[in-house]
Amino acid sequence: MSEAIERPASGAPPWEYASAPESTDIVRLDDRYGLFIGGEFVEPKSGRWFPTISPSTEETLAEVAEADAADIARAVDAARDAAPAWQHLAPAERAKFVFRIARQLQERAREFAVLETMNGGKPIREARDIDIPLAAAHFFYYAGWADKLEYAFPGRGTPTPVGVAGQIIPWNFPLLMAAWKVAPALAAGNTVVLKPAETTPLTALLLASVVQEAELPPGVVNIVTGAGETGAALVGAAVDKIAFTGSTEVGKAIRRATAGSGKRLTLELGGKAANIVFEDAPLDQAVEGVVNGIFFNQGHVCCAGSRLLVQEPVFDVVLDKLKERLQTLRVGDPLDKNTDIGAINSKAQLDKISELVESGVDEGAEIYQPECVLPERGFWFRPTLFTGVSQSHRIAREEIFGPVLSILTFRTPEEAIEKANNTPYGLSAGIWTEKGSRILHMAERLRAGVVWANTFNRFDPTSPFGGYKESGFGREGGLHGLEPYLSFDGGAQR
Amino acid sequence: MTERLEVRRTAKLYIGGAFPRSESGRSYEVTAHDGRPLAQASRASRKDLREAVVAARAAFPTWSGAAPSLRGQILYRVAEMMEGRRGQFEAELADAGAADPARGVSASIDRWVWYAGWADKLAQVVGATNPVAGPFFNFTLPEPTGVVGIVAPGDQALLGLVSRLAPAIVSGNTTVVVASERSPLPAVSLAEVLATSDVPGGVVNVLTGHTSELVPWLAGHMDVNGLDVTGVPAELLADTERSAADNIKRVHRAPDADPFDQAARSPYEITAFTEFKTVWHPMGA
């Protein structure tokens, strides 16, 4: 080891950070947000509203409408009415509408970033540098496909839209998940009813105003807010396709609910990814990647590298480096530009993380958490490592969806593959090694939809994303992300 | 009452992001379709052409190395800038005798948007992973050819030029354009648009002048890798292709289609000036 950095006994780094809060002046919130149906905000027929809060302060930011089945039917009708004209618009013109959305998101990027952080608790640095730019890039990428669909699937006849898509998205990347859903659907000529998560509706509602500014025909994009019941109503409504991102449990319920309906379905569900570090890996780089893999976005990431598999000869050194790195992570105000780990998205999620972490201790794993002062209000969880984890432990099997890393070891590549694949999930995996041939050998054998080599948690609009096994089916992103939104009138059908 | 006197534009060359006159000091008169004098345009010399090739070569590493999504955004920006100056383009097309100047400008803007979208999709459509019979990962990607000379068609002074230029630069090539001799002003205006669209200087260089004078120099230049001969007069074509053989230039001519027609645009207009690179990498624990 090189000379250790001297630290105060508390484990805090030997330097002070000045606070660097991002101003919230750029965000103007209404007291109340109705449902965005047919191009305008309307009062819910349900007559019900619910508060949406900041998870870092527990303050109410606004009230949003709770859509019931009648509201959903109205939104689906609006989407249905808008479908023929949107489908038959010249593709180049449809492209230009989607380009407009991309450009407007770029124009208003900081406003979206601040609001995303306020409503969801993620660090402003991540919202500003990752979520919002990627969301805009998704619209830009798919805009370009709108008038090139005939090149995407040669030999399958004329591509036509599926019709009306019901889209249900999670709370971990609210605007980005909206972009993943809406951009390919619009480019392919579908109209949509989007339901954001109940804890993070505000950037989706701001997206509605961008849709208005872009002068999309009314009803092409509809955005309805609510919780699980609202989502269930959307699944049961007269839509042609459901696209869902969320938990495996709800994904299974949606598959059952749509059985026999003929509705097209894509599911992007949970994960329990293995991040595999070989002894020849560049270890400092690997440790950064492991930290990014599990602590990015508080670990609220379906593809998070939540199981670290370390080759035995380097276990001690990797663990030491990880512990050292954890002490420098800053947990706290997500609006502070120095913050690494923001607020846990909700009380319910905090309870779930706490319960699983307790199970880890109870089942005999060894816990490590750096000392750090947590704010008094809001929902917080310290970055957490577990060693002495066996494959049967709940923390090695279940998706925690929080800043909690379970560390296991392996001796041979075969053992790493065996352990990595020993899960019902199959969303992502990571490999850290200097040896290129080993990367490809491992990538071929890992049963996961995305494999990162010497990097982790990379996303790009051109790159398909999605899971094997119980992590879901269908792909979002890239050329493959168009297919779920298209039918073909000739050639081979899927 | 005094009438305000109009400030007229000097139509210059566009080389390396700057607007020089021809080093030769030569110019030629441009007239409208009805014979009205419109302007003097620079009559580029062999030295100007060589300077343009040097500028294009210098711009190649940065432009070809830019992320495809960035090139796409920059091409889209060209469309945005053209939309803002469409009145000027319409007037120039009207002077050139276009039947429907507004249609020509709209189609030109939309063509930039169409090709902008290809920047980050081309490799997905024309690239491949190749299942070779052995423990290797093997893939093939398109890469830009290098410096491409473009002889723009003499008619369709705007849409014809955009339809040749956009597919050449979207993949990362840099270009030396010989503008329509008879109607060079839309090309001059396009250069002014490009200069304000985040297209790095040198990616597009625009020469005006006498086509028959410039084409042999361009075709024979040893640092030009590709040549779009769409605007080469029929009587010069064989000599041009012969000269192009000296350094095995890729020679391409636009499809024989109405430039307004969808058949005039294609991803294979992009691959006319791309190479295909195949990479082998072993797989094994």
pLDDT band at A1; cut points 50, 70, 90: very low
Which of B72, B110, B283 is nearest residue A144 as measured by Cβ atoms? B72
Instruction: Answer yes or no: do A38 and A76 share one domain.
Output: yes
Once rounded to an integer, what is the mean pLDDT over residues A437-443?
98
A148 interfaces chain B, CB cutoff of 8 Å? yes
Q: Which pLDDT belongs to residue A15?
A: 72
pLDDT 10s digits, B214-234 = 999 999 999 999 999 999 999
Specify if A143 maps to a domain. Answer: yes
Instruction: Answer yes or no: do A301 and A421 share one domain.
Output: yes
Strand A404-410 and strand A307-311: the pairing is parallel
Once rounded to an integer, what is the mean pLDDT over residues B238-251?
98
A216 interfaces chain B, CB cutoff of 8 Å? no
Residue-number span of the structural domain to which B63 is assigned: 41-282
Total domain count for chain B? Answer: 1
Specify if A465 maps to a domain. Answer: no
Q: Which pLDDT belongs to residue A13?
A: 61
Instruction: Answer yes or no: do A282 and A197 share one domain.
Output: no
Q: Which pLDDT belongs to residue A105?
A: 98
pLDDT 10s digits, A232-279 = 999 999 999 999 999 999 999 999 999 999 999 999 999 999 999 999
Instruction: Answer yes or no: do A450 and A475 share one domain.
Output: no
pLDDT band at A17; cut points 50, 70, 90: confident
Specify if B21 maps to a domain. Answer: no
Specify if B226 maps to a domain. Answer: yes
CA distance B246 to B227: 12
- CATH number of residue A301's parent domain: 3.40.309.10
CA distance A137 to A140: 5
CA distance A39 to A216: 8
Instruction: Answer yes or no: do A484 and A403 share one domain.
Output: no
- CATH number of residue B233's parent domain: 3.40.605.10
pLDDT band at A492; cut points 50, 70, 90: very low
pLDDT 10s digits, B138-153 = 999 999 999 999 999 9
Instruction: Answer yes or no: do A265 and A280 share one domain.
Output: no
Q: Report yes or no: A301 and A457 within 8 Å, Cβ to Cβ.
A: yes
Residue A2 has pLDDT above 50, yes or no: no
Dihedral sign, Cα of residue A403, residue A406, residue A409, residue A414 = negative
Instruction: Answer yes or no: do A106 and A244 share one domain.
Output: yes
Please judge whether B285 and A442 are an interchain contact, meaning their C-beta atoms are less than 8 angstroms apart: yes
pLDDT band at A50; cut points 50, 70, 90: very high
Amino acid at A353: I
Once rounded to an integer, what is the mean pLDDT over residues B13-38?
97
CA distance B208 to B199: 20
Q: Report yes or no: A135 and A175 within 8 Å, Cβ to Cβ.
A: yes
List the structure tokens of A275. Answer: 């991040």
Total domain count for chain A? Answer: 2
Instruction: Answer yes or no: do A375 and A317 share one domain.
Output: yes
Instruction: Answer yes or no: do A144 and A87 share one domain.
Output: yes
Q: Which pLDDT belongs to residue A334?
A: 98
Residue A8 has pLDDT above 80, yes or no: no
pLDDT 10s digits, A338-351 = 999 999 999 999 99
Please judge whether A144 and B285 are an interchain contact, meaning their C-beta atoms are less than 8 angstroms apart: no
CB atoms within 10 A of CB B84: 11
Please judge whether A462 and B116 are an interchain contact, meaning their C-beta atoms are less than 8 angstroms apart: no
Specify if A193 maps to a domain. Answer: yes
Once rounded to an integer, what is the mean pLDDT over residues A215-238?
98
What residues in A contact B118, CB-CB < 8 Å?
144, 148
Three-class secondary structure of residue B41 per DSSP: strand
Specify if A365 maps to a domain. Answer: yes
pLDDT band at A490; cut points 50, 70, 90: low
Three-class secondary structure of residue B148 per DSSP: strand
pLDDT band at B2; cut points 50, 70, 90: confident
Specify if B91 maps to a domain. Answer: yes
Instruction: Answer yes or no: do A164 and A50 share one domain.
Output: yes
Residue-number span of the structural domain to which A222 is assigned: 32-269+470-488
A361 interfaces chain B, CB cutoff of 8 Å? no
Residue A436 has pLDDT above 60, yes or no: yes
Q: Report yes or no: A274 and A429 within 8 Å, Cβ to Cβ.
A: yes
Q: Please give, one letter per residue, the 3-state secondary structure of chain A.
A: CCCCCCCCCCCCCCCCCCCCECCCCCCCCCCEECEEECCEEECCCCCCEEEEECCCCCCEEEEEECCCHHHHHHHHHHHHHHHHHHHHCCHHHHHHHHHHHHHHHHHCHHHHHHHHHHHHCCCHHHHHHHHHHHHHHHHHHHHHHCCCHHHHCCCCCCEEECCEEEEECCCCCHHHHHHHHHHHHHHCCCEEEEECCCCCCHHHHHHHHHHHHCCCCCCCEEECCCCHHHHHHHHHCCCCEEEEECCHHHHHHHHHHHCCCCCEEEEECCCCCEEEECCCCCHHHHHHHHHHHHHHHHHCCCCCCCEEEEEHHHHHHHHHHHHHHHHCCCECCCCECCCCECCCCCHHHHHHHHHHHHHHHHCCCEEECCCCCCCCCCCCCCCEEEECCCCCCHHHHCCCCCCEEEEEEECCHHHHHHHHCCCCCCCEEEEECCCHHHHHHHHHHCCCCEEEECCCCCCCCCCCECCCHHHEECCECCHHHHHHHEEECCCCCC
Three-class secondary structure of residue B209 per DSSP: coil
Specify if B22 maps to a domain. Answer: no
Mutate to test the interface with A, among B70, B71, B73 (most CBs of A within 10 A): B73
pLDDT band at A16; cut points 50, 70, 90: confident
Which of A96, A147, A478 is nearest residue B124 as measured by Cβ atoms? A478
Q: Which pLDDT belongs to residue A374?
A: 94
**Choice between A3 and A68, residue whose per-residue pLDDT is larger:** A68
CA angle A57, A46, A196 (to 5 degrees): 45
Residue A491 has pLDDT above 70, yes or no: no
Mutate to test the interface with A, among B113, B122, B126, B132 (most CBs of A within 10 A): B113
pLDDT band at A12; cut points 50, 70, 90: low
Percentage of residues in chain A with pLDDT exceeding 70? Answer: 96
Once rounded to an integer, what is the mean pLDDT over residues A190-202?
98
Q: Which pLDDT belongs to residue A61?
A: 98
Specify if B140 maps to a domain. Answer: yes
Q: Report yes or no: A297 and A334 within 8 Å, Cβ to Cβ.
A: no
Instruction: Answer yes or no: do A251 and A292 share one domain.
Output: no
List the structure tokens of B185. Answer: 């002003």
Specify if B30 maps to a domain. Answer: no
- CA-based nearest residue to A231, from A254, A247, A204: A254
Which of A414, A436, A461 is nearest residue B281 as measured by Cβ atoms? A436
Nearest-CA distance from B72 to chain A in Å? 9
Specify if A117 maps to a domain. Answer: yes
Please judge whether A148 and B72 are an interchain contact, meaning their C-beta atoms are less than 8 angstroms apart: no
pLDDT band at A141; cut points 50, 70, 90: very high
Specify if B34 maps to a domain. Answer: no
- CA-based nearest residue to A372, from A7, A12, A20: A12
For residue A91, give the chain B residue with the closest CA: B114
Mutate to test the interface with B, among A100, A134, A141, A458 (most CBs of B within 10 A): A141
Once rounded to an integer, what is the mean pLDDT over residues B166-171?
98
Determine which helix (DSSP H) or strand (DSSP E) holds B275, and give its type and residue range.
strand B274-282
Q: Which pLDDT belongs to residue B240?
A: 98
Please judge whether B114 and A140 are an interchain contact, meaning their C-beta atoms are less than 8 angstroms apart: no
Mean pLDDT for chain B overall: 97
Mean pLDDT for chain A overall: 95
CA distance B15 to B23: 12
Nearest-CA distance from A142 to chain B in Å? 8
Complex ipTM above 0.85?
Answer: yes
Percentage of residues in chain B with pLDDT exceeding 70? Answer: 100
Q: Which pLDDT belongs to residue A377?
A: 97
Specify if A394 maps to a domain. Answer: yes
Catalytic residue ranges of A: 268, 302
Amino acid at B27: S
Q: What is the largest CA-CA distance in chain B?
A: 88
Specify if A62 maps to a domain. Answer: yes
Specify if A12 maps to a domain. Answer: no
Instruction: Answer yes or no: do A109 and A41 share one domain.
Output: yes
